[in-house]
Structure 1
Amino acid sequence: MPAISMFYGIIIRMLFMDTKQHNRPHIHVEYQGMQAVFAIPEGERLEGDLPPKKVRQVQVWIDLHEEELMANWSLAVRGEPVFPIDPLR
């Protein structure tokens, strides 16, 4: 599960061929041992828990990088390498 971005202690990952459980485009997020899954491009939290401030940061980052995330999703579901995305600054 490659990391595609890291910022403020948050690690964003995208799994290859990960369409069974959530059945829609999404990212996996880790922060201090906590994990959550967020839909893209909506930013809706599908599963897990993070502190409210971190949820907002992830949602802002998703909004800023919607096109890149969807391009990465298209690659990942085909099992192709994904590219890094700039962190939130």
Structure 2
Amino acid sequence: MPTIYLNNGLRIYMNNREKGHNRPHVHVLYKDEDYSFAFDGEQLAGGKLPRKQFKEVQLYLSNHQDYLETLWQSDF
């Protein structure tokens, strides 16, 4: 998955070679911190993302769930 750049310095990417990760998720980079989010918007790991950035990530995920699911199943 190419890195997606959102407003407010957010970068979203997916690792297709992560072993042992049963729940589909993306990684979000913000100010050199790494956060993990399930496709439904639930934060799985990382510290507390600021509210404005958290809402932006949730909006992106809700609008792109089908695309993300397809990527997760593929060998990109």
Which bracket does the TM-score occupy, shorter chain normalised? 0.7 to 0.9
Establish whether residue 65 from structure 1 lines up as the match of residue 64 from structure 2.
yes
- Report deviation, 1:35: 1.4
- Report deviation, 1:19: 4.3
How many Å separate the matches in 2 of 1:28 and 1:4?
10
AA at the equivalent of 2:55:
R
Matched residue SS, 1:12: strand
Matched residue SS, 2:26: strand
- Report deviation, 1:51: 1.1
Please list, as runs of the form range in 1=range in 2, the aligned pairs for 1:48-87 lying within 5 A after superposition.
48-49=46-47, 50-75=49-74, 80-81=75-76
Q: Which runs of 5+ in 2 are unaligned?
A: none
Q: Which runs of 5+ in 1 are unaligned?
A: 82-89
- With normalisation by structure 2, the TM-score equals 0.86
8 Å Cα contact 1:3-1:11 kept in structure 2: no
> Residue 85 of structure 1 corresponds to which residue in structure 2?
none
> Residue 22 of structure 2 corresponds to which residue in structure 1?
23
Superposed CA offset, 1:27-60 (max 9, x none): 00001112100001x1100000221111110011
Matched residue SS, 2:28: strand
Alpha-carbon distance change, 72 to 31 in structure 1, aligned in 2, over 3 angstroms: same
AA at the equivalent of 1:13:
Y
Superposed CA offset, 1:15-36 (max 9, x none): 013241x420000000111210
